[in-house]
A and B are shown apart, each in its own frame.
Chain A
Amino acid sequence: MAEKDKVYKCLNPVGKHEPVDQSPLAPRLTNLDGKTLHLSICGEADIWVPLEKRLKGDYPDVNWTVKKRFHIVPDELTEEERKTTDAVILGVCW
């Protein structure tokens, strides 16, 4: 066989991702009143300045908790804090 016609098996340079179970989403809230909603603010704060104000102003019956970090990695809720948190709004990094 001429060299130019020789067939080679060529290997894959790609890595392998370990299998990941895909979970359903957590059930949604039926209403907001009296709930504890957590604002997880990270990355650029710009959109959050008016948004936080609107959320707190428009929904005074919600118990708002906030953690702010200017970094791209959010400041996470502790295990204790999670026990009393009903939902989380996170942005703009993740």
Chain B
Amino acid sequence: MPYLADLEQSGIPTVLINYVEETEKVKNDSVLYGIPKLRYVEADRKSPGGVEEADRLLPLVLEGLTRPLTRAEKAGGRYAPEPPRILFEGTLPEAEKFYQQTERIPRILDAEWSMYTDGLPVVIPTEERVKEMLTGTSHAPDELISLQRDFETRPQAGLFMQGMIRKKGEVIKFMPTGSTATVEQIAVNAVMAGCRPEYFPVVLAMAESGGCTGDGRSWGGGFIVSGPIYKELGMNVSYLRFGPCNPANKTIGRVGSLIWRNIGGWKESVTGIGVGLTYGNPVTNGGFIFAEYAEGLPAGWKGLNEMRGFKKNESVIVPFSPGAWGIGQEHLPGVYRSLQRTGHGAIARFLDVKGVVGPHNYLEFLTKDIWATREGGFTLVMPPQVAQDLYDYGFKTKEAVYEWMWKRSFVTVGNYRQRGMGDLITNGWLGIERTSGKHWRELPDDYMVPAGGDGPEAYTIIVAHGDETAIDRFGGGPMGSQTYSIDAWR
């Protein structure tokens, strides 16, 4: 929409062809970007072959470019919403009823949609509670959420994202509406999620990342904490780290989806079209956060904070985008222990090391066919023993593991052409293949290309506490090189 707005405002008439399900978002976005009367033509995505649909659309498209403007289309104006600071005044029972209001959204079959919450009951954000939350930071309540340091983002070829330099002080725009927020407004959402004031610096760092809303459409929904703050807050880095019952993990994770809903303004089919990613991903399920157990790292393996240029004693948050859960070969923890301790069991048979005590390269078993039905990197959350075994085997750094896994992901161009994401990642085979520097269409079918992401940086290892030697594996990982200091928000 920014592109269309720019064209219209520079005097070039446009018409948009959109699918009919997206019309409400088109109307919404055209106001947000300053061209409220944008002309659009609705297409039906179910038209077989598209020929009849093209016949129907053609005169409508050309009419959009030639029919003289109406009075309304020639008019200007200003969109300047002023949401009140005090949303409701009344007793707590009345407030609970108010904040739990819902509306029906036609495009999702009139399903109910919470107007102020994530669908769950919330802690009512009274002035007193918000004031208490604000004691968790030294930042002023009326300060706009902005970047706390300069940093450079890494280009991501498959997403057509250029690398860019972002400057300290840049005001954060929360997508999909591009709204801004003050420290106080984030505190309101933190209260609603059930956070304690001591969690607030983590929440503010999440807000600094844009609440993991990306460009509003997809990606994100999760956060990793690295650094000693996990101990201060009592975050669970051990068994059931992804499960219920830990207040810090659950409430801080929840704030992300409230920020997306309230600050970013997500309203399904109106301000955004969900495709199961971001906070709509069942893995994130409305918000997802966990922390690193740096004490379990083998010597020579760095924590996520150190790998991102921070010190070991500095606490940071990294937004990430988790995909499919439980990828790779399944096994029980005892099967892993047998592999390394006695050289017996299924994994030992797979690696042909029967009777030979480890360390063995377990990753050869785990990653067999892991890219057969998916592209991209992934994240491994492993107990200290697995990390130590990999170190003893010869992976003296995490980067060495990443490099090994990425190289293992190479497939032939012939294979890559048959994959579901190939058309998108290669821009319809019109672009340049990174490893060769050649045009995709010049490459022979037997040329090897990586199915597992742009490079080793597509992989992440997080060490968690626990002696049960099973690792959590899920697709996706950190969103580029973005890392945000939690300490900057204390």
Contacts and interface: CB of A to CB of B under 8 A. Distances in A.
Q: On chain B, which size bracket covers the interface?
A: 35 or more
Contact of B37 (A25, A31, A32): A25
A20 B76 CA distance: 11
Nearest to B187: A11
Nearest to A30: B66
Contacts of A55: 58, 61
A92 B126 CA distance: 44
Given A17-B178, A19-B78, A71 B159 contact: yes
Contact of B69 (A16, A18, A24): A24
Given A15-B264, A47-B57, A89 B14 contact: yes
B79 A13 contact: no
Q: On chain A, which size bracket covers the interface?
A: 35 or more
Given A8-B92, A25-B8, A69-B427, A16 B181 contact: yes
B427 A13 contact: no
A69 B29 CA distance: 21
A4 B93 contact: yes
Interface string B76-94: 1111111111111111110
Interface string A1-32: 00011111111111111111111111111111
B109 interface: no
B16 A94 contact: yes
Contacts of A51: 17, 50, 53-54, 57-58, 61
Interface stretch (B38-46, B278-286, B297-305, B361-369): B38-46
B95 A27 contact: no
A80 interface: no
Interface string A50-68: 1101110010000000001
A7 B124 CA distance: 12
Given A10-B125, A22-B31, A25-B74, A46 B50 contact: yes
B452 interface: no
A8 to B, nearest CB: 4
A89 B81 contact: no
Given A19-B79, A20-B32, A71-B424, A32 B50 contact: no
A87 B62 CA distance: 10
A10 B34 contact: no
A8 B160 CA distance: 49
B430 to A, nearest CB: 7
Nearest to A5: B91
A1 to B, nearest CB: 10
B49 interface: yes
A12 B86 contact: yes
B43 A91 contact: yes
A33 B44 CA distance: 29
B327 interface: no
B14 A21 contact: no
A18 B115 CA distance: 21
A26 to B, nearest CB: 4
Contacts of B103: none
A47 B58 CA distance: 11
Contacts of A77: 7
Given A9-B86, A28-B68, A54-B55, A91 B16 contact: yes
Interface string A38-53: 0010001111111101
Nearest to B265: A15
Contacts of B61: 51, 55, 89
Contact of B91 (A8, A25, A89): A8
Contacts of A73: 160
Contact of B17 (A13, A32, A89): A89
A20, A76, A85, A87 — most chain B CB neighbours (10 Å):
A20
B1, B80, B116 — most chain A CB neighbours (10 Å):
B80
B12 A10 contact: no
A31 B53 CA distance: 24
Nearest to A79: B10
A67 to B, nearest CB: 10
Nearest to A73: B160
A89 B39 CA distance: 10
B381 to A, nearest CB: 30
Interface string B337-348: 000000000000
Given A8-B92, A47-B17, A72-B217, A24 B76 contact: yes
B19 to A, nearest CB: 6
Given A55-B58, A71-B424, A89-B65, A20 B50 contact: no
Given A15-B262, A25-B73, A90 B427 contact: no
Interface of B: 1, 3-5, 7-19, 26, 29, 31-39, 43, 45, 47, 49-51, 53-55, 57-58, 61-62, 65-69, 73-93, 95, 98-99, 116, 124-128, 130, 159-160, 174, 177-181, 184-185, 188-189, 192, 217, 258, 262-265, 423-424, 426-428, 430
Q: Which 8 A-B pairs have the closest CB atoms?
A: A91-B17, A15-B179, A15-B263, A19-B80, A50-B54, A22-B77, A12-B87, A13-B262
Given A17-B79, A23-B34, A82-B7, 8 more contacts: A15-B181, A18-B180, A20-B33, A26-B7, A27-B13, A70-B428, A77-B7, A89-B14
